């Protein structure tokens, strides 16, 4: 267990370093005048950007040699200081707390909802492959996959906010606000996870231990519950782990349509506005989340599948 | 219990499954629409006619017109060619290196595998959106960085799946037997490993194409996609979206094309039920 | 619950199984009574497993059974899927082949036994657990309740499966190839267990290709060939003085009845291992192991499973590196001339390639005359012993008709001028 | 099926809970995000939502009104302006608004990047109850500049030791209860605003970037007051019996910024031809859904004195455009694109998505220009690319949205945009001595009648020369739920008068 943690910690360190360096390098080589972009980001499109950019350049020391800037970043990183956003001037850590925090909540809610929807449907589809439930499940999954998230979001808003009037179309802060964006994401996730689950269940159903469990005389519910779900969950969990990572950053459109202050939104702004500390901080946080999620997936897989515990 | 007796369905030549035929027909029809459509539909997809703004379906414009009065049929045909072509290209660009690197990592192991694993993990840890946006910053509005950026984030999945599946296959006795019989690595990978992983890769590829199209539309939604007046299915949805209340069917036309593509791919890639 | 439900007779009459219009099993009639187990003996593809499936009610939907199967009067063929399913565990239980695959890999063995009491017997959880422990104790696995299947040997899994089949207390026990993949010692202990079940009053229907099992179980023996029951009668009679020519051929093919092969004069050493040692982790398999194989010589390495027999073979073939020691091969002998026959022959064929294609590629690789090979493979296809099913499967090597594969495999290896065939456990028993 | 049922149950539970949670809070939604607390960055949010105030304010016609300064005067030489701070104004931290505090805020604004940097200021000081601004040369529009949001007056406690704004302590009717950048701001009524108690004491502002979402917030009743509606939603919202839609034309014009130094646009005929090519009526009808926004000249009617009613309007005339282009030496090439001396008339139109309607208008312009044989590539980028490409001279065409009420008097913007050498958002590679003299004279003149003539002439010149080509004017559409009354539309977007909004009974 300690070894596992240490290895994870080392991995996190490597990820932090590489991600930071990579972002820094990429942001450096981007064409265009960073000061101009920062100025536009700060003062908006009506401002006198060129003049503001001169001030920005001076204020931020963007003229310094880039190794100096990078070492600066590293030195502060060691003290857990991610610097200040070049655009808002607020500490990057504070911004991340709000935006990454909001995104993580959203992602968590989405995953929870998708777990209720996707695998449940997947199990019913997988128990009778090619039955009508399965075909319906396939159709639903394909429809949800072909709708871009903003279209799906709009449809949900129309249904839940306008037609039924149950939920607010946008906003954040309460769990009512979380419901629609989370559902939008969850449906997108469930579209795939239901198929993954369906395939996993269909495989399990054919497995000798599942057949034997039936031959033992167990009622079907017990067979599925005790021998089907756990075994089918193994591939589903590793799939969901990957999804969770895509989710935290892949939600930018959902965030903007639901006016939800997430990290995707922040990242897009930070990149467009050349807010290097913000991009680095975000990428770093995302990298660490990636490490954490993979570790969690490994732990969950090991819990589900005793065969994996041997190797640890 | 039945392993000892040949299941009778194996006695007959296995019938090509109906769903696959439907899937293939669907894909063929879409491919024809994408390839031939732009030639058959004479209308210029960029020609505007304000008097025909949001013309209804079935009138003078067969599939209606968008808010600028541009023929939606022409735009869909050109858009299908571009979107499907680009998705296909993205998928190939992701799949080929992904599969090859996966095979290499599983076959050679050692430092090569270690390095590739690290690389894959870094790419996974880097937000994909960031990669695409950064690449796009070099040449805004161009296909090149857009599809390259998407491929760069998508190859990892191919790599990971190929590596793990190949690793399990390579442990099986028939590989060992082939080695003892003197077959070279090229032959083993080509004749033994590739056929085994092909169905999985096909499924992944289907998903990757859908992902690519949706990703491009998502990027259009945050105004970093392709530039007007390029007819691309994703950006068409974004353009038409504000008119959802007046012309809901118009908005849904491009998603319907995407739906047919994903459905076709899904049907064709679906695992045999047996 | 463990006392078997009282079933007096299983009577199969005129059982035929068709796939479309093609009969696969024809006119089987037999009956089973307490105290008198019945063993169906036959080759792969002879249809014996289908008979068991028909009794169990698990025939694939494309197969149609006709005739009657009466279990104390109830007609099994006529009953609905729900009725059949109700019988599982309660009236009929099945001892699966390859029990290490039939046990849930993610669940400890104890609960897998206990759930039978819990869900089939309707017992409360603590009571089910206690009974499960007793069941496991009965088969000598009292200590193993907390183990996962992957932590157990094949024999332990087999015993666990027996405990499970036993737990529900059904009146009829069907054992489908109960000794598949087990070595001689384990085989004997499984047979002993089965005999105990018979003594406890259960009906026992055993499906096997292993004559030794049939002999040991006694009772009645039926011999199946191409879907027909060609011979049936008391074991001593059928196995001792077979009347049917096929029965005789089958018995002659049994390794037990093989003639002792005269030891060929020993030539030079073709292959030798000196001071071999191998350990997996902290588990030492062997140390200072010496072995030498001379030309014309057959060397057998025997021992219980897990003792490192296979590893020795792999070391000699160069597939595994020994921790210490060295392997010497005769000079100027191509490495291709050291080949291996596999324990599980089907697994040694690529699942996505036809055997013909594989052989052709092999011929091309070594610049051999394909014509000669073609004959060789044709010869194989036309052998009478290769059943219909098997012939169809010849197209796809994914067949699990293992003997056919084994034969096929021998052809493949023997086409190369091979000097050494380390053969794995199955043939290691041959002396 | 079960899932649907479950979702339905959850939703029902949610809806019942939600109705209980309804508070009497004025919920406002608008497109602006709050990037930071610096007044130059997001002072407009705090000004519009009446958290902070400026010395001078403006009414709906652009007439200057007293704000924190109850009166102002200028010395005879035009070099010294005195603004007298009202005595009853109090910051939200209960300290009084003094001339000292106001001067400090203005000094900071002057040192930063706001509009004050454009004034010829030599000194800002306080003198008793007066803020004194001394100039290097006379400048008539100083009070108008003090309307701008970057000059909001904040309490001394708003700044940290280095002079950075850390929080907003203003003097308006609302004070900040909580701020969650970049999307949410919650306000509560200030205890003793000099203008009295606000009608609704709790306000929450949510930044909603997506226009469709804003419309849905209004329709669902989740927001009481929604700013800046998409043109397509306006008609639908007008039909909604629960909503009131208010529309005002605002002093913002979408113009094509041209590089008059480029061979494509160096001839005034070429610029006029482009103007003739543009189907302004079509664009306003189809994309903006409001034919009144057809920009027949640079300034909209709302800008009194700057809109010249009898000016010859800019119209569409494709034949005239073709003729002018031919006169300028452009002949159709084999591919239908005009060429001159082997050079194709192929240009890049740069625009940005900060204003959602710009890319669609650019797309329309692209198709229209193609009709006369001009090949336009549209490039949608970041707003900074326009000034950036202006600076390095590579810009050919840009579609921009120009605000003429950065100070309520457009002279500030004109002064900037059409100075010699041009400016980021103004002319490029174009200068005109006559206009320059006119504008400078205007800047120093405060007599209205004298100004009117000068203004008219300036507008006429811009119409003839077309250093940048007006395309459409802009409107501000506000949707208010009928639950509330007293909503006003401020075309200058100085403040939205939330304090006077009441619950309708």
Q: What is the pLDDT of residue D254?
A: 92
Residue B81 has pLDDT above 80, yes or no: yes
Q: Whole-angstrom Cα distance, residue B150 to residue B90?
A: 7
**Which residues of chain A make contact with B118, given a CB cutoff of 8 A?**
14
Average pLDDT over residues D35-50: 85
CA distances from C381 to C24, C371, C385 (A): 19, 15, 9
Instruction: Pick the range with the lowest mean pLDDT from C62-76, D183-197, D462-476.
Output: C62-76
SS3 letters across chain B? CCCCCCCHHHCCCCCCCHHHHHHHHHHHHHHHHHHHHHHHCCCCCCCCCHHHCCCCCCCCCCCCECCCCCEHHHHHHHHHHHHHHHHHHHHHHHHHHHHHHHHHHHHHCHHHHHHHHHHHHHHHHCCHHHHHHHHHHHCCCCHHHHHHHHHHHHHHHHHHHHHHHHHHHHCCHHHHHHHHCCCCHHHHHHHHHHHHHHHHHHHHHHHHHHHHHHHHHHHHHCCCCCCCCCCCHHHHHHHHHHHCCCCHHHHHHHHHHHHHHHHHHHHHHCCCCC
Peptide bond connecting D272 to the previous residue in cis, omega within 30 degrees of 0: no
pLDDT mean over A267-275: 83
Least confident of B81-85, C74-78, D216-220: C74-78
pLDDT at C317 over 50: yes
Answer whether C76's CB lies under 8 Å from C154's CB: no
B interface test, pick of A146, A211, A239 with most B CB neighbours within 10 Å? A146
Pairwise CA distance, residues B245 & B258, whole Å:
21
- Distances B61 to B38, B43, B155, B232 between C-alpha atoms, Å: 15, 10, 41, 19
Residue C363: C-alpha distances to residues B72, D294, D384 (Å): 59, 83, 70
* Short-list D198, D201, D193, CA closest to D97: D193
Burial of C72: CB neighbours in 10 Å, binned 0-12, 13-18, 19+? middle
Please give the share of chain C, as a percent, with pLDDT higher than 90.
0
- Answer yes or no: is pLDDT of A166 > 90: no
The CB density around residue C408, as the number of other CB atoms within 10 Å, is: 26
What does the alpha-carbon distance between residue D271 and residue C20 come to, in Å, rounded to a whole number?
84
Which D residues, 354 through 383, put their C-beta within 8 Å of a C-beta on chain A? 354-355, 382-383
Name which of B67, B140, B245 is nearest D379 (Cβ-Cβ): B140
**Average confidence (pLDDT) over A55-80:** 76
Report how many Cβ contacts below 8 Å link chain B to chain C: 107
Is residue B193 scored above 50 in pLDDT?
yes
For residue A257, which of A307, A185, A166, A195 has the smallest C-alpha distance?
Answer: A185
Question: In CATH, what is the architecture of C10-254?
Answer: 3-Layer(aba) Sandwich (3.40)
* Predicted pLDDT at D226: 92
> Angle B248-269/B233-240 helices, nearest 10 degrees?
150
* D256 has pLDDT over 70: yes
What's chain A's average pLDDT? 81
Mean pLDDT, to the nearest integer, of C249-256?
72
Give the whole-angstrom CA distance, residue D196 versus residue D210.
35
pLDDT band at B33 (very low <50, low <70, confident <90, very high): confident
End-to-end CA distance of chain A: 8
Cα separation, B65 vs A92, whole angstroms: 47
Amino acid D472: pLDDT: 92
A9-45 pLDDT, tens digit each: 887 788 778 877 888 787 777 777 778 888 888 887 7
* CA dist., res. D299 & res. D491, Å (int): 13
Burial class (CB in 10 A: 0-12, 13-18, 19+), D171: buried
Residue D12 scores a pLDDT above 70:
no
Inform me whether the pLDDT recorded for A225 exceeds 80: yes
- Structure token digits, residue D181: 């950048």
Q: Taking the domain C269-430, which CATH number applies?
A: 3.40.50.300
Out of C89, C90, C102, whose CB is closest to A208?
C102
The SS3 call for residue C395 is coil
Chains that touch A (3 or more CB pairs under 8 A): B, C, D
Give percent of chain A above pLDDT 70.
96
Quick check: do D and C touch, 3+ CB pairs under 8 A?
no
Quick one: average pLDDT of D238-264?
A: 88
C341 vs C140: CA distance, rounded Å: 34
**Cα of B98 to nearest chain C Cα, Å:** 22
The count of CB pairs under 8 A between chains A and D is: 164
Residue D1 in this model has a pLDDT that exceeds 80: no
| pLDDT score, position C188 | 80
Q: Mean pLDDT score of chain B, rounded to an integer?
A: 79
How high does pLDDT run on average in chain C? Answer: 74
Using a threshold of 3 CB pairs under 8 A, tell whether chains A and D touch. yes
Q: Quickly state the pLDDT bin for D399 (edges 50, 70, 90).
A: very high
Out of B125, B134, B266, the one facing A138 most closely (by C-beta) is B266
When pLDDT is averaged across residues D357-378 and rounded to a whole number, the result is 89
| Average pLDDT score over chain D | 85
pLDDT per residue as tens digits for the range C205-251? 888 888 888 888 888 888 888 888 888 888 888 887 777 787 777 77
Distance, in Å, from the CA atom of D101 to the CA atom of D98, rounded to the nearest integer, reads: 5
D4 in reach of chain A (CB within 8 A): no
Is the model's pLDDT at C394 over the cut of 60? no
Q: Which chains touch B (3 or more CB pairs under 8 A)?
A: A, C, D
Say which residue, C398 or A114, is predicted with more confidence: A114
Instruction: Tell which D residues from 205 to 264 touch A, by Cβ distance under 8 Å.
Output: 206-210, 212-213, 216-217, 219-222
Asked whether residue B270 carries a pLDDT value surpassing 80, the answer given is: no
Residues for chain B: how many in total?
274
**pLDDT computed for residue C4 by the predictor:** 55
Looking from the CA of C2 toward its CB, the CA atoms found within 13 Å total: 18
Same CATH fold assignment for domains C10-254 and C269-430: yes
Q: Which residue of chain B has the CA closest to C21?
A: B8
Q: pLDDT value at position A188?
A: 84
Say whether residue D329 is in contact with chain B using an 8 A CB cutoff.
no
Q: What is the pLDDT of residue D5?
A: 53
D370 in contact with B at a CB cutoff of 8 Å?
yes
Burial class (CB in 10 A: 0-12, 13-18, 19+), C140: middle
Evaluated on CA atoms A60, A61, A62, A65, the torsion sign reads negative
Q: Which of C96-105, C416-425, D39-48 is predicted least confidently?
A: C416-425
pTM of the model: 0.80
pLDDT at D18 over 60: no
pLDDT the model gives residue C119 = 83
Residues in contact with C426: Cβ distance below 8 Å, sequence separation at least 6, in sequence order: C343
Nearest to A222 by CA among C149, C115, C58, C93: C115
Q: Per the CB < 8 Å rule, is D41 touching A32?
A: no
Give me the pLDDT at residue B207, please.
77
Residue-level pLDDT at B6:
36
Q: What was the pLDDT predicted at A191? A: 84
| For residues D428-451, average pLDDT | 83
In degrees, to the nearest 5, what angle opens at C-alpha D173 toward C-alphas D171 and D176? 75
Residue D456: band (very low, low, confident or very high) from pLDDT cuts 50, 70, 90: confident
Selection from A292, A257, A277 nearest residue A94 by Cα: A277
Whether B180 sits inside 8 A of C317 (CB atoms) is yes
Cis peptide before B229, with omega less than 30 degrees from 0?
yes
Domain borders along chain C are 10-254, 269-430
Q: How many CA atoms lie within 13 A of B133 on its CB side?
A: 29
Lowest-pLDDT range of A94-98, D312-316, D396-400: A94-98
| Start-to-end CA span in chain C (Å) | 45
The average pLDDT across D402-412 equals 80
Task: Mutate one of B175, B177, B184, B274 to test the C interface: name it (highest C CB count within 10 A).
Answer: B177
Residue C210 CA to its chain's centroid (Å): 8
The alpha carbon of residue C352 is apart from the nearest alpha carbon of chain B, in Å, by 6
User: What per-residue confidence (pLDDT) applies to D471?
Assistant: 92
Listed range (B134-143, C282-291, D257-266) with the worst mean pLDDT: B134-143
Q: Which residues of A touch C109 (CB under 8 A)?
A: none
């Amino acid at each position: 267990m300690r070894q596992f943690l240490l290895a994870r910690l080392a991995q996190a360190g490597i990820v932090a370093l590489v991600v930071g360096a990579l972002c820094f390098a990429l942001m450096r080589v981007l064409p265009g005048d960073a000061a101009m972009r920062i100025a536009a980001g700060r003062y908006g499109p009506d401002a006198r950007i060129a003049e503001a950019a001169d001030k920005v350049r001076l204020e931020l020391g963007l003229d310094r040699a880039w190794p100096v800037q990078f070492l600066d970043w590293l030195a502060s990183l060691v003290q857990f200081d991610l610097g200040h956003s070049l655009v808002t001037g607020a500490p990057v850590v504070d911004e991340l707390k709000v935006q990454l925090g909001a995104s993580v909540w959203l992602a968590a809610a989405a995953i929870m909802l998708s777990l209720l929807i996707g695998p449940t449907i997947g199990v019913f589809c997988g128990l009778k492959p090619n039955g009508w439930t399965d075909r319906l499940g396939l159709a639903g999954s394909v429809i949800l996959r072909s709708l871009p998230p903003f279209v799906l979001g709009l449809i949900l808003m129309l249904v839940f906010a306008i037609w039924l009037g149950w939920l607010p179309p946008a906003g954040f802060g309460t769990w009512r606000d979380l419901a629609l964006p989370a559902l939008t994401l969850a449906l997108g996730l469930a579209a795939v996870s239901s198929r993954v689950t369906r395939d996993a269940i269909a495989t399990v159903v054919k497995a000798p231990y599942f057949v034997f469990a039936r031959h033992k005389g167990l009622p079907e519910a017990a067979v599925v519950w005790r021998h089907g779900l756990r075994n089918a969950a193994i591939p589903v969990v590793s799939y969901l782990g990957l999804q969770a990572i895509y989710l935290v950053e892949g939600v930018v459109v959902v965030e903007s349509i639901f006016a939800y202050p997430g990290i995707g939104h922040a990242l897009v702004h930070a990149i467009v506005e050349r807010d290097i500390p913000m991009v680095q901080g975000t990428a770093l946080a995302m990298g660490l989340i990636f490490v954490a999620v993979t570790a969690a997936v490994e732990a969950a897989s090991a819990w589900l599948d005793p065969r994996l515990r041997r190797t640890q | 219990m039945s392993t000892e007796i040949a299941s009778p369905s194996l006695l007959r030549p296995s019938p090509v499954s109906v769903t696959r035929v439907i899937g293939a027909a669907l894909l063929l029809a879409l491919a024809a629409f994408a390839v031939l459509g732009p030639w058959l539909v004479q209308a210029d997809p960029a020609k505007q006619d304000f008097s025909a703004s949001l013309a209804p379906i079935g009138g003078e414009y067969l599939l209606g017109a968008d808010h600028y009065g541009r023929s939606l049929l022409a735009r869909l045909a050109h858009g299908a060619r571009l979107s499907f072509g680009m998705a296909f290209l993205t998928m190939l660009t992701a799949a080929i290196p992904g599969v090859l690197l996966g095979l290499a990592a599983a076959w050679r192991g050692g430092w090569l595998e270690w390095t590739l694993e690290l690389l894959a993990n870094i790419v996974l840890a880097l937000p994909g959106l960031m990669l695409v946006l950064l690449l796009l910053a070099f040449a805004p509005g161009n296909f090149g960085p857009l599809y390259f950026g998407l491929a760069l984030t998508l190859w990892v999945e191919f790599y990971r799946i190929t590596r793990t599946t190949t690793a399990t296959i390579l442990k099986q006795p028939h590989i060992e037997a082939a080695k003892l019989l003197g077959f070279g690595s090229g032959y083993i990978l080509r004749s033994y490993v590739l056929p085994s992983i092909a169905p999985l890769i096909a499924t992944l590829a289907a998903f990757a194409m859908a992902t690519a199209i949706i990703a491009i539309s998502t990027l259009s939604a945050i105004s970093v996609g392709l530039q007007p007046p390029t007819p691309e299915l994703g950006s068409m949805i974004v353009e038409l979206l504000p008119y959802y209340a007046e012309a809901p069917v118009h908005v849904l036309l491009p998603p319907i094309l995407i739906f047919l593509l994903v459905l076709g791919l899904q049907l064709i890639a679906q695992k045999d039920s047996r | 619950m463990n006392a078997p439900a009282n079933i007096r007779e299983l009577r199969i009459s005129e059982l035929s199984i068709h796939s479309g219009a093609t009969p696969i099993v024809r006119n089987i009639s037999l009956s089973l009574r307490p105290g008198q187990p019945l063993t169906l003996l036959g080759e792969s593809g002879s249809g014996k497993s289908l008979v068991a499936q028909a009794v169990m009610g698990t025939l694939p939907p494309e197969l149609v059974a006709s005739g009657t199967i009466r279990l104390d009067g109830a007609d099994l063929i006529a009953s609905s899927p729900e009725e059949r399913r109700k019988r599982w565990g309660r009236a009929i239980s099945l001892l699966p082949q390859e029990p290490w695959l039939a046990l849930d890999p993610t669940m400890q063995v104890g609960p897998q036994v206990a759930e039978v009491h819990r869900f089939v017997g309707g017992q409360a959880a603590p009571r089910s657990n206690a009974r499960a422990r007793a069941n496991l104790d009965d088969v000598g696995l009292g200590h193993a309740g907390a183990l996962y299947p992957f932590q157990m040997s094949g024999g332990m899994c087999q015993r666990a499966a027996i405990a499970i089949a036993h737990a529900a207390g059904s009146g009829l026990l069907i054992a489908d190839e109960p000794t598949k993949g087990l070595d001689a010692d384990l085989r004997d202990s499984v047979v002993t267990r089965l005999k105990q079940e018979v003594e406890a009053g259960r009906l026992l229907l055993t499906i096997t290709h292993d004559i030794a099992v049939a002999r040991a179980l006694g009772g009645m023996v039926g011999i199946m060939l191409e879907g027909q029951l060609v011979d049936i009668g008391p074991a001593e009679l059928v196995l001792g003085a077979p009347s049917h020519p096929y029965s005789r051929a089958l018995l002659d093919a049994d390794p037990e009845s093989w003639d002792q092969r005269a030891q060929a004069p020993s030539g030079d050493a073709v292959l030798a291992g000196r001071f071999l040692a191998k350990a997996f982790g902290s588990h030492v398999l062997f140390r200072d192991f010496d072995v030498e194989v001379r030309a014309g010589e057959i060397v057998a390495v025997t021992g219980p499973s897990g003792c490192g027999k296979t590893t020795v073979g792999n070391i000699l073939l160069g597939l595994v590196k020994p921790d210490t020691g060295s392997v010497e091969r005769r000079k100027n002998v191509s490495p291709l001339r050291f080949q291996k026959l596999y324990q599980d022959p089907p697994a040694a064929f690529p699942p996505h390639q036809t055997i013909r294609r594989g052989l052709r590629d092999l011929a091309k690789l070594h610049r051999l005359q394909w014509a000669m090979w073609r004959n060789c493979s044709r010869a194989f296809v036309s052998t009478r012993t290769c059943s219909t099913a098997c012939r169809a499967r010849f197209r796809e090597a994914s067949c699990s008709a293992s003997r056919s594969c084994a034969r096929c495999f021998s052809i493949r290896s023997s086409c190369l001028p091979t000097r050494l065939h380390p053969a794995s456990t199955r043939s290691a028993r041959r002396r | 099926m079960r899932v649907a049922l479950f979702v339905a149950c959850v939703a029902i539970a949610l809806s019942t809970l939600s109705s209980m949670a309804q508070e009497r809070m004025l919920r406002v939604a608008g497109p602006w995000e709050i990037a930071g607390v610096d007044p130059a960055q997001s002072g407009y949010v705090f000004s519009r939502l009446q958290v902070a105030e400026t010395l001078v304010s403006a009414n709906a016609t652009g007439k200057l009104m007293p704000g924190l300064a109850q009166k102002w005067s200028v010395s005879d030489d035009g070099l010294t302006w005195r603004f007298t701070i009202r005595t009853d104004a109090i910051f939200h931290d209960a300290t009084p608004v003094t001339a000292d505090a106001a001067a400090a805020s203005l000094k900071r604004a002057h040192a930063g990047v706001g509009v004050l940097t454009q004034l010829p200021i030599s000194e800002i000081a306080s003198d008793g109850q007066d803020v004194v601004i001394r100039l290097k040369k006379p400048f008539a529009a100083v009070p108008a500049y003090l309307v701008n949001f970057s000059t909001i007056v904040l309490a001394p406690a708003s700044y940290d030791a280095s002079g950075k704004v850390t929080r907003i302590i203003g003097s308006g009717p609302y004070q900040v209860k909580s701020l969650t950048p970049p999307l949410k701001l919650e306000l509560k009524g200030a205890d003793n605003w000099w203008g009295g108690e606000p009608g609704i004491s709790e306000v929450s502002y949510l930044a909603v970037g997506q226009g469709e979402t804003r419309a849905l917030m209004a329709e669902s009743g989740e927001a009481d007051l929604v700013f800046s509606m998409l043109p397509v939603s306006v008609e639908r919202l007008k039909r909604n019996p629960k909503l009131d839609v208010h529309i005002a034309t605002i002093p913002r014009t979408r113009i094509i910024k041209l590089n008059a130094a480029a061979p494509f646009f160096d001839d005034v005929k070429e610029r006029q031809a482009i103007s003739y090519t543009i189907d302004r009526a079509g664009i306003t009808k189809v994309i903006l859904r409001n034919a009144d926004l057809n920009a027949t000249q640079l300034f909209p009617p709302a800008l009194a004195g700057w809109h010249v009613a009898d000016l010859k309007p800019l119209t569409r005339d494709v034949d005239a455009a073709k003729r002018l282009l031919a006169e300028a030496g452009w002949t159709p090439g084999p591919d239908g694109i005009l060429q001159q001396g082997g050079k194709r008339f192929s240009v890049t139109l740069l625009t940005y998505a900060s204003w959602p309607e710009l890319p669609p208008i650019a797309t329309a312009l692209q198709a229209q220009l193609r009709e006369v044989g001009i090949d336009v590539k549209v490039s949608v980028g970041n707003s900074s690319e326009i000034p950036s490409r202006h600076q390095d001279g590579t810009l050919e065409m840009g579609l921009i949205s120009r605000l003429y009420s950065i100070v309520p008097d457009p002279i500030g913007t004109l002064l900037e945009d059409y100075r010699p050498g041009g400016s980021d958002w103004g002319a490029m590679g174009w200068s005109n001595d006559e206009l320059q003299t006119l504008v400078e004279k205007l800047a120093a003149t405060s007599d209205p009648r004298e100004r009117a003539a000068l203004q008219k002439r300036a507008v006429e010149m811009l119409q003839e020369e077309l250093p940048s080509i007006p395309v459409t004017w802009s409107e501000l559409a506000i949707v208010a739920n009928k639950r509330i009354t007293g909503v006003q539309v401020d075309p200058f977007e100085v403040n939205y008068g939330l304090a006077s909004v009441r619950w309708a009974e």
